[in-house]
Amino acid sequence: MKDLVNNIISKVHWLMLAYAAYSGFILWDDHNLKMKELTDQFAPVEAEIQINQKKVKEIQEFVKKAEESKTRVEEAAKNIEDAQRKLPAEINDNQILTFINAEISTLNIKDPNIVPGTENTNNYFISKPYTMKARGTYLQFLVFFERIGNADRIYNVKSLKLTNSDKDQKGRFQLVTGDAVIEAFRYNPSFKVDRGFDPPAPTKP
């Protein structure tokens, strides 16, 4: 009996070592299990972070393009407003009729009849037609409308019809009757370019 007890005591340290090894294995396995659980939890979080980062990048790109588009719209609006301000502030019938009649008289165009029409609003400008009828040669009308096109004021020949005159010819050049509509313009003070956003405030000096 004494020998059995001594034998057991002599092997106790091996039993304790085996128990410690077993306990360490259990702890290590439990640690690995917890780490795997944490890793599994982090995987979808990292995927969501990547998705959100992509969305943030897309939003930043969209904002950048929106700002670039806004700049282009602002430049186009300013160009329109600059062109608008180049038009006269008013349409004066006396001045326009005086100018047209002076050109007609200089070119010796016959039987002129010019009638002012009614103003028409077209977005950033307002136009007014002048219906003209007169007699002359093709060359006279050619020079007349060339002078209209080179005038200081902007005019537009909206329509033109030349037909052989039914009156007796007194020269070697064919006389024609000219029916035309000449438009004069002024800017529309009520029109503002719709930018789709508030224009930037003017820079203070």
- Report the chain's mean pLDDT, rounded to a whole number: 78
Give dist(CA 39, CA 45) in Å, integer: 10
Does residue 81 share a domain with residue 108?
A: no
Q: What is the pLDDT of residues 80-113, one digit of tens each?
A: 666 666 788 899 999 999 999 999 999 999 999 9
Answer with the residue of higher pLDDT: 163 or 4: 163
* CATH for 152: 3.30.70.60
Nearest to 154 by CA among 122, 126, 114: 126
For the CA atoms of the chain, what is the radius of gyration?
46
201 in any annotated domain: no
| pLDDT bracket for residue 130 (50, 70, 90) | very high
Does residue 105 share a domain with residue 82?
A: no
Does residue 64 share a domain with residue 121?
A: no
Q: How far is CA 165 from CA 137, 141, 158, in A?
A: 10, 13, 22
Instruction: Note the pTM of the prediction, 2 decimals.
Output: 0.58
Last residue of a domain, one of 86, 118, 133: 86
Last residue of a domain, one of 33, 51, 86: 86
Print the domain residue range for 29. Answer: 1-86
Does residue 81 share a domain with residue 3?
A: yes
Does residue 161 share a domain with residue 78?
A: no
Does residue 129 share a domain with residue 72?
A: no
Query: How far does Cα 130 stand from its chain's mean position?
Result: 35
The average pLDDT across 48-65 equals 74
How many domains does the structure of the chain reveal?
A: 2
Does residue 122 share a domain with residue 69?
A: no
Does residue 108 share a domain with residue 78?
A: no
168 in any annotated domain: yes
